[in-house]
Amino acid sequence: MDIRLDGKTALVTGGSRGIGKGIARAYAEAGAKVMIASRKAEALADAAAEIGNGCQWVVANTGDPAQAEAALTATIERFGSLDVLVNNAAANPYAGRTIDVDLPRWDKTVLVNLTAPLVWTQLAWRLWMQDHGGAVLNISSVGALKTSGALGVYGVTKAALLHLTEQLAAELGPQVRVNAICPGLIRTDFARVLWEGERGPVVAQAYPLKRLGEPEDIAGAALYLAADTGSWITGQTLVLDGGGLVAIDDPRLAE
């Protein structure tokens, strides 16, 4: 199946690396005009050059509403539309028991993982999608679907993002479709501590598909949901985890 996004414009937050860059590349190769956003200009420039196909970039701190509005406005001004928004940027500044988290790191996690997707979606709706339609894709995590000894705070915010996805899907239809993806362990810099060294192969063997995920595994699903192939899908969560959630209990998957 040749899934295309010709004539569409997509904005991907956290698009300079990992899952975000993988999604941006898939969209660009499918014919979309792509804008990537993150905090560091050098990383964005390198990623845009690697993605090619006319990919552009804009510096924006995802958690800053003013910078979010500037990024969305720049996208519309440069490309003439905003058809797809991917809320991919995430933060995980704390590891440990949720009961022990300090409020500054709690607030930072909530700001980036939950408040920011709401703000970016609000702005996309007001600036373009309310009148022209579109699709929003929120990148959550399998951590939203289970408890964790060390990553509970992250999981709580990602679980809330799933409910936000359903709520916005109910409110914004039929103009805008809103869906979510829950990746399992993907081999990115963001998740490096979970797969680097000897731990990676051990964890991979505990998954039914016997390997860790790659950004391309997420990008294909993100393309399907953004394109016309997903035209009757909204308010849904797609789990892409190599079968981790259905694996027979194994202490290697505890985190």
How many other CB atoms sit within 10 Å of the CB of residue 81? Answer: 16
Going by C-alpha positions, the residue among 180, 59, 48, 55 that lies closest to residue 114 is 180
CA 120 – CA 219 distance, rounded (Å): 20
Sign of the Cα pseudo-torsion (70, 166, 3, 90, in order): positive
Question: Is 27 annotated as catalytic?
Answer: no
CA–CA distances in Å: residue 83 to residues 11, 50, 191:
8, 23, 29
Q: 94, 154, 207, 224: which one is catalytic?
A: 154
Q: For the sheet containing 84-87, what is the strand order?
A: 56-59, 33-38, 9-13, 84-87, 134-139, 176-183, 237-240
Tally of CA atoms within 13 A in the half-sphere of 104 that contains its CB: 0
Catalytic residues: 154
